[in-house]
Amino acid sequence: MTEETKTPKAADPAESILATRRNFLGKAAVGAGAAVAGATMAAPFVHAKTAPIKWRLQTYSGAPLGAHVIKPQIDAFNAAANGEMEIELFYADQLVPTADLFRALQAGTIDAVQSDEASMASPVDIAVFGGYFPFATRYSLDVPALFQYYGLKEIWQEAYAEVPNVTWLSAGAWDPLHIFTTNKPIRSLADMKGLRVFGVPTAGKFLSRYGLVPVTIPWDNVEVALQTGELDGVAWCGFTEAYEVGWADICKYALTNSVTGAWFGSYFANTASWNKVPKHLQELFRITIDQSHYYRDVWYWGGEAKLRVEGKKMELTSLPPNEWAKVVKDAEGFWDEVAASSPRAGKVVAAFKTYAETMEKAGYPYR
């Protein structure tokens, strides 16, 4: 093996983007040719009478939220699968607790999962980046851009290749992170002290340095816990979700400072279950995942701005600029701590830094 083979030349970033376009155009040309050939020599359609493949998929989300973040995708897949496969959808904690999702997936108790890594306790060194990683993103498009052009897709594939019987399929963006509280407004970092909030693990760990107390309970119990005072608020979502699931009806205050611009969520399959699915249905499932990513991005993005400006259910509060600057600065140290936890985590943080620098240099409309 030559030195050149051991160390391939770094690809020009522009070339990688153009190569993606060329590949798409090439496939389109082949597809067009196949369509013409099919038109002249069409084979009769034969519908297989075998029993359909049955899957059980559980999402991290409760039913009100699931109506937007996954149900349209599963309905579309089941319709397009034409009787060959059927996916039964379960919402948060219906089959197993969210914290046990990964083990259940690995054991084959369920066939597929939609969740972030942190919430489902994935045993990989990149689990900390699932959900809300402080200041890793500003906009929803940051997530697919990071996976497509900054190496996160390959890092995720590498990490899950080391885990038996779990196949990572795709990551997408959800909403930004805001803190909503019932009776205590947050107008300074001191106001966070002692507030018990329901939230995702990584953001909760970061915010706990300001006295916030992360609380983990089943998703369906959050509304009652807010009403009874067991919880003082949520640090789990953005405005769209808070309004959709009813938390905005209970919370009186919304902190406009967003620790993260978009949540990282992924789809996973039990490897044995995935390998039993024919290639054309695997492709159909991936297509409907992409459809779900698109639908979700638009639903969240439009809702965040509209409800923040026009929503009447919560009073908006903000941290003083000097205190917010401290939070931003503290995140740099948090990034370095996580980067030191493993070489692979270091690669992810390096990608975040490179991406942030690129966006800042590009300027408007990127930053």
Give the whole-angstrom CA distance, residue 282 versus residue 77.
Answer: 10
Q: What are φ and ψ of residue 171, in 5° steps?
A: -120, 150
> Range with the lowest mean pLDDT among 154-163, 190-199, 200-209?
200-209
Q: What is the mean pLDDT of residues 342-363?
A: 97
User: According to the model, what pLDDT value does residue 201 have?
Assistant: 87
Helix ranges, the chain (H): 3-6, 13-40, 63-69, 71-80, 101-107, 142-149, 152-161, 201-207, 222-228, 239-245, 271-275, 279-310, 321-339, 343-362
CATH number assigned to the domain covering 53-173+263-302: 3.40.190.170
Q: Name residues whose C-beta falls within 8 Å of residue 349's C-beta, 6 or more positions apart in sequence.
A: 335, 336, 338, 339
What pLDDT shows up at residue 15?
Answer: 52
Q: Quote the CA–CA distance of 84 and 269 in Å, as a whole number.
A: 18
Instruction: Give the confidence band of 225 by pLDDT, cuts at 50, 70, 90.
Output: very high
Question: Does residue 214 sit in helix, strand or coil?
Answer: strand
Closest by Cα among 53, 11, 8, 19 to 277:
53
3-state SS class at 275:
helix
Give domain limits for the chain: 53-173+263-302, 177-262+316-362
The fold for domain 177-262+316-362 equals: D-Maltodextrin-Binding Protein; domain 2 (3.40.190)
Tens digits of residue pLDDT in 23-36: 434 444 434 444 33
Tokens of 242: 């808070």
Q: With bands split at pLDDT 50, 70 and 90, how would you rate the model's confidence at 200? A: confident
Percent of the chain having pLDDT more than 70? 87
The type of residue at 71 is K
Cis peptide before 365 (omega within 30 of 0): yes
Mean predicted lDDT score pLDDT of the chain? 89
pLDDT digits (tens, 9 = 90+) for 50-68: 899 999 999 999 999 999 9
